Amino acid sequence: MVTANVEAKTEVSKAPFGKTTDGTPVEIYTLKDGSIEARIMTYGGIVVSLRTPDREGKVADVVLGHDSVQGYEPNPPYFGAIVGRYANRIAHGEFKLDGKTYNLPKNNGENTLHGGTVGFNQAVWKAKEIANGVELTHVSPDGDQGFPGKLSVTVRYTLAGNTLRIEYSATTDKDTVVNLTNHSYFNLAGQGNGDILQHELRIDGSRFTPVDATLIPTGELRPVEGTPFDFRKLTPIGARIHQDNQQLQYGKGYDLNWVLDTPEGKLGEAAEAYDPASGRVLQVFTTEPGVQFYSSNFLDGSIKGKAGVAYGQRSAFCLETQHFPDSPNHPSFPTTELKPGQHFHSITEYRFSTRGE
């Protein structure tokens, strides 16, 4: 593999990026190290663009998104955003904690998705430059979207060499639940450049969490062996996506959580994606116990992205590092509870390289 020089100094700059519809100013931070460049805006902590070279050295933007803040308002697909307080789904918009039932807004049928109707993806985060990157902070008040406790969140994006690192931290003043992730949509051929069915994917998970018809986990940890969800070896995303499988039908493609084989809390490889046409390779490392692989099944061409390109079905993939969906309602899953005095901490890294034909 060819990787960037990790000794190179990352250039960090900021600039105005317009205003939200309510007039709040938004800034965008540009992180550049050699031929890799990431742009992060304060609205939603969104990765607006991520430019990396192919095997010939040609640089392209490999994440879906928009050219202005207004394009992200609203943002039904959650392009590039930090999502929380609770990434993924919570069944029936409720959970119990310390014997009390908490009710959340239902914004995904009967379920709560990605924190509710006004999640972290719609907040304008406070930002400051740090070494090699930007630090974003946001305070979610007690009762925000029905969640208990004042949650203070810090997310640091740093770029060094070939690696974009996201470090999440949070504290609370009451018992609560938290699950944070980044929701970038990747197309290693370049955003807007066709579908990702020929991309090859490997996921370091020998089990997954099957779901019901509303995409809520049943509680089972099912082996991937002998199923269309066995990505333990590099396999084209499109190879089995149309198989007659109920789990694929529920999500209209891949939209499931894999149980990672690396012990929780240890930074280990979660997944690798490879585009044979461009030679771009993306490796995802995380301390989280799970990763949601989503094959952009619900994009239908109605959303126009950067330069007016229509984003159709399968035009990108997401690898959302996370705790499992609906964990507050599944005591057997790794806990997402956070108590006063505890410190939530999670790391995810996107490492880019290229491979010859």
Q: Which residues have a catalytic role annotated?
A: 183, 320
Residues 6+ apart with CB under 8 A from 43: 17, 20, 26, 69, 72, 73, 122, 123, 124, 125
Three-class SS state of 112: strand
Q: CA-CA distance, 67 to 205, in Å (whole number)?
A: 35
CA distance 4 to 159: 11
Which of 125, 46, 121, 136 is CA-nearest to residue 87?
Answer: 121
Token pair belonging to 321: 């590092």
* Placement of tokens 């938004």 in the chain: 26
* Size of the chain, expressed as the number of residues it contains: 357
- State the Cα–Cα distance between residues 293 and 202, nearest whole angstrom: 11
Cα(338)–Cα(112) distance, rounded to whole angstroms?
19
Tell me the residue type at 48: V
Rounded to an integer, what distance in angstroms lies between the CA atom of residue 351 and that of residue 197?
Answer: 21
Answer for the pair 255, 318: CB distance below 8 angstroms, yes or no.
no
Name beta bridge partners: 13. Answer: 30
Q: What are phi and psi of 249, to 5 degrees?
A: -70, -40
Spacing of C-alpha 349 from chain mean position: 11
Q: 157 forms bridges with which residues in the sheet?
A: 134, 166
Closest CA relative to residue 11, chosen from 28, 36, 48, 41: 36
